[in-house]
Amino acid sequence: MRYSMKLFLCGMLVCLAGLTLSPEPLHAQAKAKRGKKDADVPGVADYQSKNFMVRTDLPPDDAKDLLKRLETMLALIEKYFEQKLKSPIGMFVVKDINAWPKEALSQLDPAGLNSVQTGGGLTIGQTQTSNATGQVLDAKAVVYAVADRGTPQHEAVHAYCILSFGRTGPTWYAEGMAEIGQYWTDKGLGVHCHDIVMKYLKSQEPKELTEIVDVADSTGDSWENYAWRWVLCHMLANNPNYAPRFKPLGLGLLNGKDVTFETVYGPMAKEINFEYQFFLRHIDQGYRADLCAWDWKAKYTPCKGSTPFTAKVDANKGWQPSKISVESGQSYDYSSSGTWKTSATGTAVNADGGEEGAGRLMGIIFDEYKLSEPFNLGAYGSFTPPQSGSLLLRCEDKWHELADNSGKMQVRLKMTGKGNPLPMPDVKANAKDAPAKAAKTKSVEADKSK
C-alpha cells in the first residue's frame, strides 16, 4: 500500500520557560548543582504507568506525581474525545539536563534536546497515512519537556492527538487545546493560567477572533499568541452557548474534515464576539465561563401597563435576563424579595447587599450587542435606565468569585406611576444585619469601579 509519512514538530514555546512554577530558572538550578556531589544529583530513571513511559531525572516521588497528573488529564481527554489512547506515550522529562549521563543524552533527538535546553517542550510525531484514503495507518509520538507543572501536560495533549487522530489540527486549535491541558487542575472548571499570562491578557485590547484562528499561523510563534488561542478554546469549551459545537468542530479538525471555525461559528459571530469581549473584560483566576454565559434565547417584553413583571435572579450567575425592555428617561419601580450569599461562609443579605456593596442587586442595559454601564438597584426603589434596551440583573460580586454564591432573588418590576405601588419586600425574610432600606428612591449611578 502506498503511504506518505508526515513529521510533526509541536513545540512548546521557549519563552514560556520564564513561566515555569519552579522557583529559579533551569540554568540557575543546573549551576547550583554542578558543585555538589553526585549523591545530591538525582539519577535518570524510567517510570511507567498505564499510558505513559517517562524517562526523567525528577526525584521518584515527583516522577510518580507527574505520572498521576498525566493519567488523570489523559482520562479527561479520552472522555472528551470519546477515544482511548491506542499506544503509550513516551516522554523525556528533564529537570536538570546536567544530571543526565552521556549515554542517556545520546538517545535524545537533537531537536528535542534543544527544546528542553531552552526551557520548552517538543512533541515529535510521525504518521503514516494511506495515499488512497487519507486514513492514518500508523502513528508515533515522543515528547520532550522540561519538568515544570505545565509543559509535560501540554505536550502530552499533542501526543494524544497525533496517536489518536494522526494530526493535531490547525495551530489555534492544537495549541489552544494543549494549553487547556497544561492548565488543567482538579480544582474545577474555573479559569486557571500562569499569572504572567493573566496579566498580559488583562493589559491588552482583545485580539480579533479572525486573527487568532488565522490558518497561516505556525506553532511556536510567541507565548502571547498561545495565550489568545487558550482564551478562545477555553471559552468555546466551557461556555454552554458554544461548547456543543466545539467538540464536533474539534473532532472534524482532528479527523481532517473540511470544517473551520468560520463555517461552524459564522452564524453566531456576533454572539461569540460579544461573549469573547465580555470574557476578557472580566477574566481572572477562577472565572467561570459557564456561570457567566449569556442567555441569548431570552425574550424581552416592553415594561408598560399596570401589571408588574417578575424576574428571578440567581446569586451564582452573571447577567440574567429580567425579560423586560425599558425606555431611556422613563422611571421604573422594583421590589426584591429573598436573600442570598456571596460566599460559602458569609451572611445572607437582601438585595441592598452587605459590606462594600457585595450582594447588591445590579442592573445593566443590553442593546445591539452593546452594554450600558452597570447601575445599582437594591431591595426597593425606582430607577431610570441610562439608555433604552433589555434589562439584565445580577448579584454584585467579584466576577471570578461567583461559584460559591447561593440563594436567589425574586424581583418585581413595573413602570413608575402605573397601577398599584409594588409591595414592600418581606423584611423579616432578610438577614438582621442587612435591613431593607424601604421606600428609598435611588437614582441611577454608573458603577465607577467597573
Residues forming contacts to Zn ion in the complex (CB under 5 A) are 10, 175, 178
> What CA–CA distance (Å, rounded) separates 371 from 389?
9
Q: 175 or 397: whose CB is closer to Zn ion? A: 175
How many other CB atoms are found less than 10 A from the CB of residue 64?
Answer: 14
* CA quadruple 400, 401, 404, 409: dihedral, nearest 10: -100
**Nearest distance in Å: CB 144, Zn ion:** 12
Q: Determine the 3-state secondary structure of 331 from DSSP.
A: coil
**Nearest distance in Å: CB 254, Zn ion:** 15
> What CA–CA distance (Å, rounded) separates 189 from 292?
12
Q: 176 or 381: whose CB is closer to Zn ion? A: 176
Residue of minimal Cβ distance to Zn ion: 178
How wide is the angle at C-alpha 12 spanned by C-alphas 67 and 129, nearest 5°? 85
**Nearest distance in Å: CB 10, Zn ion:** 5
Where is 94: in which H helix or E strand? strand 89-94
Q: 182 or 335: whose CB is closer to Zn ion? A: 182
Q: 94 or 292: whose CB is closer to Zn ion? A: 94
Q: 150 or 346: whose CB is closer to Zn ion? A: 150
Q: 10 or 116: whose CB is closer to Zn ion? A: 10
> What CA–CA distance (Å, rounded) separates 350 from 339?
5
Q: 93 or 178: whose CB is closer to Zn ion? A: 178
**Nearest distance in Å: CB 140, Zn ion:** 17
Shortest CA distance to 357 belongs to which of 339, 333, 373, 377? 377
**Nearest distance in Å: CB 179, Zn ion:** 8
**Nearest distance in Å: CB 122, Zn ion:** 8
**Helices then strands, each counted (H, E), the chain:** 12, 17
Burial 92-112 (b: 16+ CB within 10 A, else e): bbbbbbebbeeebeeebeeeb
**Nearest distance in Å: CB 200, Zn ion:** 18
